[in-house]
Amino acid sequence: MVKPSVLVTRRWPASVEAQLQNRFDVLLNKGDRPLTQSDLKEAVKSYDAVLPTVTDRIGSSELDVPKAQAKIIANYGAGYSHIDMDAARAHNIMVTNTPDVLSECTADLAMTLMLMAARRTVEGEGELRRGDWSGWRPTHLVGTKVSGKTLGIVGFGRIGQEMARRAHHGFGMDIVVHSRSKISSDVLARYGAIQVETLEDLMPLCDFVSLHCPGGAENRHLINARMLNLMKPNAFLINTARGEIINEHDLARALWFETIGGAALDVFDGEPHISQDLLDCGNLVMMPHLGSATREAREAMGYRVIDNLTDFFEGRRPRDRVA
């Protein structure tokens, strides 16, 4: 029996790649270089399945291929704003993602970033490494207490709820939520949370604001100068969602002029390029998109892709179908 042909756009954990090769006719990107748009278009034309990541922009031009062989795009990741969903539907190409399995690890990193920003850990480590520390003193690198403060969560899906669990039950934080849909009272009660109607309502209430909403055109620059001006002057902004959610120029100005307390980012608009405006901000913590970067999460993401592919090619509806 002929195995379905599958293109994997980047290197995955070795155990996952081995299982993929057992089940499918797989081409691995052994050089682990980002594929060009031409490469992706050729993949849609030539393989039964394409397995992209967040860095692979698959738009209408990549999907508009006469007699395309691909019938499924099995995304390695929960977010899929890098895939043109309307074009995929128009060309009868299914899209799946990998929810659930990275929620805890991404929330762990969001908590890490919040604590790092509040306690000025990057500044402290830099001082030590440069040999500039002169010893303990009462006014040295004074930060902000996290326990008992108010956390605003924008987007209350799986990751947002995991963030709320850590913040409320671990740090005694009050939780304020903004989400596109109405959250049930039972779910809110698990985290001692309240839901506000608008983002404008949420921003002034919070000592920390953590972003967990989808990216894409709908939420592009959701956080801009107007929203930043609504924040408390000592509040912190955390983003582990998608870079395009924040207008980075506006954020840099807020950080330069210290109209907010600070920020911590794991994702960037146009990554891996980082705006020089952001690089010049001393009150900003930055990580290179590490939200799901644990062995456990990255392996589980791959196995979830394999489950979706297996269901699809055996005639079942994949549980993680999004288009």
CB atoms within 10 A of CB 316: 10
Set 165, 271, 298, 321: catalytic member = 271
Q: In whole angstroms, what is the distance from residue 209 CA to residue 228 CA?
A: 10
CB atoms within 10 A of CB 81: 19
Q: Is 264 within 8 Å of 120 (Cβ atoms)?
A: no
Set 82, 242, 244, 248: catalytic member = 242
249 labelled catalytic: no
242 labelled catalytic: yes
165 labelled catalytic: no
Q: In whole angstroms, what is the distance from residue 294 CA to residue 296 CA?
A: 5
Runs of H (alpha helix) within the chain: 14-23, 37-46, 60-63, 85-90, 103-119, 121-129, 158-165, 171, 185-190, 199-202, 225-230, 248-256, 276-279, 295-313
Q: What is the residue-wise DSSP string for 196-219?
A: -SSHHHHGGG-SEEEE-S--SGGG
Set 289, 298, 299, 321: catalytic member = 289
* Positions marked active-site: 242, 271, 289
